[in-house]
A and B are shown apart, each in its own frame.
Chain A
Amino acid sequence: MRFFIRDDAAGASTHVASYIVDRINHFAPTPAHPFVLGLPTGSTPLGVYKSLVEKYKAGEVSFENVVTFNMDEYIGIPRDHPESYHSFMWKHFFSHVNIHPNNAHILDGNAPNLEAECVEYEAKIQAAGGIDLFLAGMGEDGHIAFNEPGSSLASRTRVKTLAYGTILANSRFFGDDLDKVPKMALTVGVQTVLEAREVVVLALGARKALALQRCVEQGVNHMWTLSALHLHPHSMIVCDEDATLELQVKTVKYFKDIEQVALAQGFQQILPSQVRTGPATVPTTIVTDEFPPPTIHSPQPTTSRLLCATPATEYPLRSRSPSPEPSLRHLLTTPETEYTQDTEYTLDSRAATPDFMPDSMASRIGDPSLLRRATPNPEQRHLQQPRQRSKSPALVSAGRLNGIKV
């Protein structure tokens, strides 16, 4: 779990917004490969939405190819009721950015069949390729979405009865009239959130301190549903100073130190590219038959590194041919070679380095193809290895020479 503490609510919100913008921009979403964002409502994320809108207006991010899924919606209040989450999202986010209405998903609390609505919602998330980043707030009792204490940590999108405390807390939005507060809601489940490729939680204010302590310092507990985050490989919590009130000094210091060290190293706590790019294929080197034939047209002598203008100490001093990988060692003694290519090769390097003549047993090997394999050019080795293992007939035939010792 990554854990960031900012001085105040504004700082924490901006941090989250910047992080989301970075994620979207790095993802480079396209219509066929949209960035899928899970979104919360409530007072906590207001600052994040505000910041996101500012960044959109400043041209730092586009939501054109962003698909959103909201966490929850009340049951039984009109969609355009000022307190509905449809209205909230419209007022604070959707109306200000260029998200396409087809891409904005919110559970329909007035659906004729609520259960079917939930099933369909999960299917829609799947169809969109799963959620890339789920932004969440946290309740005072540590709930995430409407998954209140005691909710199953394996829960999915479903109809949920609200706890009395939540109804009470919400009554301030309904003229302090408990009768007007919706008692039921549709919500994504804990498992739905955990299935997102990344979860970012924002916790602001002293009122969230206890819940934050339970969720950060204690183990997974169904009474504090947000603690299920420990089961997620890529979760992140961002909070302000006030929310850390219940945490141990040790905990706060630990996470602050980690961030400091990471920053000092110029190293951000980023996600594996598989997670960052979502369901799209991670760009890998594709080895095809069009790959250049295994002839070295312009040999790259190892020693050339020593000739660079930069101080040699920056580079590991390597002998021209370090001891090859153990798996290849047995090949090195193959005698069936001519020396032609290798001769040129050594001549070149000698001309450049008259004084230093690195030499090794490998240079004396007769077979130039074997010598090439042993060339410790790391990039080339990395690229060529799989191919050679599977395709090179020389290698296959060489495999028969097992038992020959170096």
Chain B
Amino acid sequence: MPSAVRSASPRLIGITKLTNCRLVRGDDLVWGDVWVSSTTGKIIRSQSAFYDELTMPDEVIDLGGRIVSPGFIECQLNGAYGFNFSTLVDDMTQYGKQLRSLNKRLVQTGVTSYIPTVTSQTSHLYKKVLPFLGPSGSSRRADDGAESLGAHVEGPFLNPTKNGVHNRSVLRVASSLADLEDMYGVANITPSSFQSSPPSPSSTPTDATTPTTPTSPPSEIPIKMITVAPELGTMANLISELTSRGILVSIGHSEATYEEASAAVSAGATMITHLFNAMRPLHHRDPGIFGVLGATEPAPQLQPEPQQSQQQPQKRPYFGLIADGIHLHPATVKIAWRAHPAGLVLVTDAMHMVGLPDGRYEWTNGEGEHYIVKRGSVLELEGTGVIAGSSITLIDCISNFLTYTGATIPQALCAVTSTPAAMLGVAGVKGSLEAGADADLVVLSEKEEEGEGGGDRRELVVDEVWKFGVRVFERGRD
């Protein structure tokens, strides 16, 4: 009888069981196991696998009590390892090559998916580079490294007074959607359902061999998110049109008042690009964009009065914070987090100098030659003192955040996993350890050491990174 006699040997189906580890589940660290499949690239429902498929893990890995987090999602990354997403190269195949090399290195920092950010540039550059930066995950190859979830265009519809290091001369004011289509290229901003022949955009992603090349049929449009200054032109009216195309609208580089920002949020803006930076500071009589976080979602009322029912319940947007210790004071980080913990997305806003040694790096925003001086993780536009993005990694942002705020580890990890996943509309697929989610994992160890200022520094260290159920990085075995 088969009951007593096993089949010859268990089938090798690429199942790995991570055991003796603490899993990020909501606000808790829970002892448990994760079963991942390298075949499907997903976290599997272990109980069903056991009883239905009669499968056992091919490999059991004892993590010795370390923390397993979903892979990090980076929502503001301008480039890394010497490669800037906002550059044109003569031979655009080189662009794709460098991008793939970046993906492989980026994943080693724990960032398993990200939205590559293109700063304010000319239309020519957008049209050239955006096809490379679209969602790259359809092939589901672990070896490809970090996965793009779509591009983030940070500009050029920004306020010239809050340009940061963006080139003022390329900034534009939009008066219609056509302006945006002209700027980014129709194909980059218009889902197929909005084009003449409408096959559903939600159709199964085709299995493209090289997903980052423009030749692959774009199952989704390259642009995932646009940062705009809502107070300019007719942008306030265009927000709802953009969101209807599945594009997220973020408020940033803006002089918007509280009222303008609130109106943008009501119209469908769901994100604030690097809160506090490149926007009006909080003033007690004019709270500005930050004030939107103070909106209270009205408590449910038994009998809503007609006046109140006109007032739409204000949904608070997500917001990015650069917790590199330079862009924001630690107390500011804490205040913002306390104001809306569920909306916090930690971002690096890292430039391509991240991962490079200190020094003087040539950089152009399309307006003459500039140099950015990298000193540690500080980047400064030479001769101006303007902060030119950061060169911090996301894991360091998390450690900073832990140290600044006294948040629990799961709370900090939510800000780079489940919260950005929800913001990007990929909750349950990314940023989750539940069965069915993509098996993008980071194994972390904790460190706590005496800080200089008396306070202890709490640190997390990336020990291992898993992409689609395959270990792609192991610290010390590089």
Contact = CB atoms under 8 A, between A and B. Distances in A.
B10 A31 contact: no
Contacts of B45: 80
Given A80-B47, A80-B48, A95-B50, A31 B55 contact: no
Interface stretch (A9-17, A101-109, A258-266, A349-357): A101-109
B47 A102 contact: no
A318 interface: no
Interface stretch (A122-130, A166-174, A219-227, A392-400): A122-130
B55 A101 contact: yes
Interface in B19-58: 19, 33, 45-48, 50-51, 53-56
Nearest to A64: B6
Contacts of A128: 1, 3-4
A103 B19 CA distance: 22
Given A95-B33, A96-B19, 10 more contacts: A31-B6, A80-B45, A90-B50, A95-B50, A100-B10, A101-B53, A101-B55, A102-B3, A102-B7, A127-B3
B54 A127 contact: no
Contact of B51 (A79, A96, A103): A79
B5 interface: yes
Interface in A67-109: 67, 79-80, 86-87, 90, 94-96, 98, 100-105
B10 A90 contact: no
A100 B3 contact: no
A67 B3 contact: yes
A118 to B, nearest CB: 15
Q: Which 4 A-B pairs have the closest CB atoms?
A: A127-B1, A101-B54, A128-B4, A124-B3
B454 interface: no
A79 B48 CA distance: 9
A142 interface: no
A285 B1 CA distance: 31
B304 interface: no
B86 to A, nearest CB: 48
Interface of A: 31-32, 34, 36, 67, 79-80, 86-87, 90, 94-96, 98, 100-105, 123-124, 127-129
B50 A94 contact: yes
A90 B47 contact: yes
Interface residues of B, number: 20
Contacts of A79: 51
B4 A67 contact: yes
A105 B56 contact: no
Nearest to B55: A101
B2 interface: yes
A31 B5 contact: yes
A80 B3 CA distance: 22
A101 B54 CA distance: 5
A103 B47 contact: no
Given A86-B51, A95-B50, A100 B6 contact: yes
Contacts of A80: 45, 47-48
Interface-centre pick from A102, A103, A127 (highest chain B CB count, 10 A) = A102
Contact of B54 (A86, A102, A124, A129): A102
B50 A103 contact: no
Contacts of A123: 1
Nearest to B50: A101
B4 A101 contact: no
Interface-centre pick from B3, B33, B46 (highest chain A CB count, 10 A) = B3
Contacts of B46: 90, 95
B56 A101 contact: yes
Contact of B4 (A87, A95, A98, A127): A127
Contacts of A67: 3-4
Contacts of A34: 4
Nearest to A34: B4
A105 B33 contact: no
Interface in B252-282: none
Contacts of B51: 79, 86, 90, 101
Contacts of A101: 50-51, 53-56
Interface-centre pick from A87, A95, A127 (highest chain B CB count, 10 A) = A95
A98 to B, nearest CB: 8
B1 A124 contact: yes
A101 B6 CA distance: 9
A277 to B, nearest CB: 16
Contacts of A127: 1, 3-4
A375 to B, nearest CB: 47
Interface-centre pick from B5, B45, B46 (highest chain A CB count, 10 A) = B5
A87 B50 CA distance: 11
Nearest to B17: A95
B47 A95 contact: yes
B296 to A, nearest CB: 32
Contacts of A32: 5
Contacts of A86: 47, 51
Contacts of B48: 80
B22 to A, nearest CB: 16
Contacts of A100: 6, 10, 54, 56
Nearest to A86: B51
Nearest to B35: A95
Contacts of B54: 100-102
Contacts of B19: 96
Contacts of B33: 95-96
B47 A87 contact: yes
Given A80-B47, A90-B46, A95-B47, A102 B6 contact: yes
A79 B5 CA distance: 24
A129 B5 CA distance: 11
Contacts of A95: 33, 46-47, 50
A103 B1 contact: no
A128 B7 CA distance: 15
